[in-house]
Structure 1
Amino acid sequence: MNIPDLKSWSERQQVLAIIVLAVFIIFGVSFSILIPLNARRTRLEKEINMMKIQLASKNYLLDEDTLQAKFLEQQELNQKTYDQWTNLVQRIAAISFDQIAPTSRIGHIDFKVAVLAARERLQKKSRALKVTLPRSFGMDAVVRSDEDARELMLQLHALEKLVVLLFDLNVRTVSKAEPLMPVMHKLPESGDAYMEEYPVEVEFLCSYSNFFEFYRSILRPEHVFCVRRLKVQPAPNEKPDVLLVKGVLSALVFVKKPEELKPPAIKVKYTSPLGH
């Protein structure tokens, strides 16, 4: 193959050859690199346009004003939920937030004094109403060093509140009233306790009318109790209209406000952006 002698070419021929060679190089680069990139860009633009159409049809493609309006709607919904929670707590809680004292403020001596005072009040009221109470009634004033004085005080409050309710209903006999171990209700994600349940085991004799009034009373805001277990049967060795009621009822104490509860974490999935 004969190689052309560039020295024999004139200056114009050399310039023309360089221009032709550059055109071929540019065409080759465009064909091998730029054209596939442009085709990919065109395809991505079509996908983006189709995605915009789909988002717009489902009302997901929102402008700033629409997003702000939705944000205000969520704020309003959050406030309504907060108000509903607060009203519910005020209705069913045995003790309000302001009455819950930290553990450091309650000592074992305070609890012992409270136990003796509550026992004296209940015994005095039972004698006035002629309601029979067992001798070993209520809570023991002996406190172990590892026991939480705050929990004991709340157990005492639930016990006294339930017994006073029975007194107000004029039941014949309260044969048993003992607090059980508290039950903690926690959030599944964080494990934070938001509510404490203080169950009390009771056993008493009453009439049919007393029992129905008792059931209505535990649904009223001033003394709400949750029924964990309840057994009603005719009282042995008593008149036919006398009932023996055995059950476990719980007083609820909410230990945190809504703003103190952390919502469960939402896993965010990141996707690669489309287009350029």
Structure 2
Amino acid sequence: MYVSYCLNSMKDQIRKQLLEQIGVSQPIPFQPKPKRKTESGLPEECILVVDDEPSCLELVSTVLEENVYNSITASSAEEGRNLLQRHSGISMIITDLKMPQEDGFTLLKFVRDNLRFNKIPVIVLTCCADRNIVMQAIEQGADDFIMKPFTPEVLLTRIERVFGRTKKNILIVTDNAVSASILERTLAGNDYRAFVAANGHQAKEIISRETIDMSLCELVLEDMTGFDLMTTAHECYYFVPFLFLADGNILLSSEDIKSVGGFGLINKPFINSEVLLEVEKCLTRSRR
């Protein structure tokens, strides 16, 4: 409770400092929506593991937790579907192919046919040495496969490999058309998917309908501060790492930004290579 009070107090102090620097005497109105309710006990960002063998579920979830990945488990494809529909923070699915009743192929088809889930990477587990089975899973949309039995090292390597090549969604929030165009082209040229919003209202609408992996956001927007947008995203939707952009006349440091929950600060004019480096750092840290 005391830590939460200190953090909120620090946020108010940094926000007030920002408003004073841009010459705003009255606080920019900020009315967050009620916090979106989530299933109790489920982490905000996690890997869903589906297998009918309790020993395999325990092994995979233990390895994940020991390597700072959150995980939730399901013992059937049906249970896995239910968790997907209830929990918006699933960032990867690891599923066995051979299960009674509904198998892994059924779950894979459900994920790939559903617009809400079809961008989630899927790794399939199989004890079958038949390469045709593996190829069938890949053709139906699996991102990778792991043969049983496997070691923790193999599991972690495949997870990192799939996360590394999955195209990430980045939200750019700026009312500067030139900056937006440069950032959008830079990100698209490096295999990122970019969404652009000119103000906080547009950004919230995008966050509500898309799965955003991180945001490049101006500290000062026409309808709110970048801090306000970050708070709205975290309290009302889901966790989005924010990397802030600021003009040179804003006297805040990267440490100030980190102290209130942001990832860091990029001062303008920015260099494209530096932006890409910070984006990769942000995405790497947010996966852990």
State TM-score, norm by structure 2: 0.21
More helix by share: 1
Larger Rg: 1
State TM-score, norm by structure 1: 0.22
